[in-house]
Amino acid sequence: MRKLTSLLAAVILLGAYSVSAADIRVLVQRAKPAVVQIGAFDKENRLLYTGTGFFISADGFLLTNRHMIADADLIEARDYKGTVYRLKKVAAVSQETDVALLQFDVTGVPFLTLGSTANTVEGERVLVIGNPEELTFTVSDGIVSAFRDNRSIIQISAPISHGSSGSPVLDESGQVIGIATWIWKEGQNLNLAISAEAVRDAIAKAENVAVWEAPMAERTAPTTPSVITTPTPTANENLADDYFLQGRSAWLAGNYQDAINDFNETIRLWPRSGRAYSLRGDVHSRLKQYDKAISDYTEAIRLCHGSDFSYEHSSYEGRAAAYDAIGNHSQAEQDRKKAKEAKNKFWKELDKAASEQLPKLNNK
């Protein structure tokens, strides 16, 4: 991992470009080729979700959010010209900071400079290039609104949305001062990014973690397994997935009744779809139908327990919020503790998957 730390230090000194603040158009033209849309797919090559990443070196090293690779069996990167890049390996993952350093099988790509916020102050202009709501390679601007958590988090007014996770936050010189990560759902234009210093520290702290080949990297080409470990999806299950993806799109767009209809159909076709129950619970919560939300979250927890810690975690969190809304704060606190346990189990599973790949590396 010392090589990776040196890599991050080098790109600070050897910046890909620097432009005058007088011509933001030039900055965008030069930054855009280094930004990609990240696609996360399941083992059947069905799209789960999309996000953003950006190259930080010519030999394919790329930064994005850790949660962008959490549920995926296959990861692809696509630039604004439509060129698709194959994942070579996951070089480092930080659970605490929500950062992932990936390497794609490419050389000579445009890249961005990971800069510093040392001289950045509130009110300075920033740009974000990302893929919000699958509106690919969208440019938005705003200002640095505040610094949080000892300057490890940057609050920005530049609009971001679902799909913006992993987007570079650029200052007026074209350097990356942060990675867009969160939106404050209950507020307006309250957007948060991980600072460049926090990103750099996260990678440095991962120095004692061996580089591992990503399990999803092995699925970028069709293979014929000698042992089938999971049953072949039925026609109903495949159709249920189609309805689920359609329902999730409606949910993200705020079309709640359409989302409920699609999740109802998902569950009718595939009653064991815990994630459909979980997202239907989210919709009921948005509609303040808290009893229905609690019922859906409870079923999602039952179905996802021990098999899908990500949705189990989010269902506990959703049920906690619903309990809080109806005044059952003691039950809400219990669910928050269980949500934390599920989250820790998820990352243990990810670490286990990583460690299982290490012998393959040692034999190379």
Where along the chain do its domains lie?
2-216, 232-358
The band of 17, judged by pLDDT with boundaries at 50, 70 and 90, is: very low
Amino acid at 119: N
171's CB contacts (< 8 A; 6+ apart) are: 115, 120, 124, 125, 126, 177
Q: Are 131 and 80 in contact (CB under 8 A)?
A: no
Cα 179 off chain centre by: 11
Of 3.40.50.920, 3.40.50.720, 1.25.40.10, 1.10.10.1110, which CATH number belongs to 232-358?
A: 1.25.40.10
User: Per-residue pLDDT for 124 more than 80?
Assistant: yes
Q: Is the pTM higher than 0.75?
A: no
How far apart (Å, rounded) are the C-alpha atoms in residues 101 and 55?
Answer: 10
Q: What angle do CA 224, 229, 233 make, to 5 degrees?
A: 85
pLDDT tens figures, 168-185? 999 988 999 999 987 654
Of 3.20.20.210, 3.90.1150.30, 2.40.10.120, 3.40.50.10420, which CATH number belongs to 2-216?
A: 2.40.10.120
What was the pLDDT predicted at 41? 83
Of the listed ranges 48-57, 217-226, 231-240, 354-363, the one predicted with least confidence: 217-226
Q: Are 223 and 216 in contact (CB under 8 A)?
A: no
